[in-house]
Amino acid sequence: MSSPHSDFNQYIEYVDDYSTAYYDRALCYYYMSDNQDTLLLAEQDHTKAIELDSDRISYYYYRGKCRFELYDCENVIPDMDFEIENNSQDTFSYYYFERAFS
């Protein structure tokens, strides 16, 4: 049985400019993470998704969550700031934004 992200790996191998594939693989890494290395892979895929489609608010939110889990609080702030500016109703973004200052 293949791992969930192996399907995304194959897809990305053929279509490497599809931001949603990177985003979806990043979510797999994030939710299945059991160590910092896997979280780092998730953060890198979210960054690639943002490079390909910088208008998707959720990409910034989840990259910020990864960075928070990686204790990279300095970089959580701009991601959550972008989320708050574009989706002020998302209270979770305020939580991570505030916690990054703690």
Mean pLDDT over 4-11 rounds to: 63
**Rounded distance between C-alpha atoms, residue 54 and residue 59, angstroms:** 8
75-87 confidence digits (pLDDT tens): 999 999 998 899 8
* Structure confidence at residue 1 as a pLDDT band (50, 70, 90): very low
**Arithmetic mean of pLDDT, 50-78:** 94
pTM, entire model: 0.85
Q: Is position 11 within any domain?
A: no
**What CATH number is given to the structural domain containing 41?**
1.25.40.10
10 found inside a domain: no
Tokens of 5: 């992200």
Residue of higher predicted confidence among 63 and 96:
63
Domain with 37 in it: 17-101
| Inside any domain, residue 12 | no
Q: What percent of the chain has pLDDT over 70?
A: 84
The reply to whether 3 falls in a domain is: no
**Cα–Cα dist 66/99, whole Å:** 13
Helical (H) or strand (E) element with 36: helix 36-52
Is 62 a domain residue?
yes
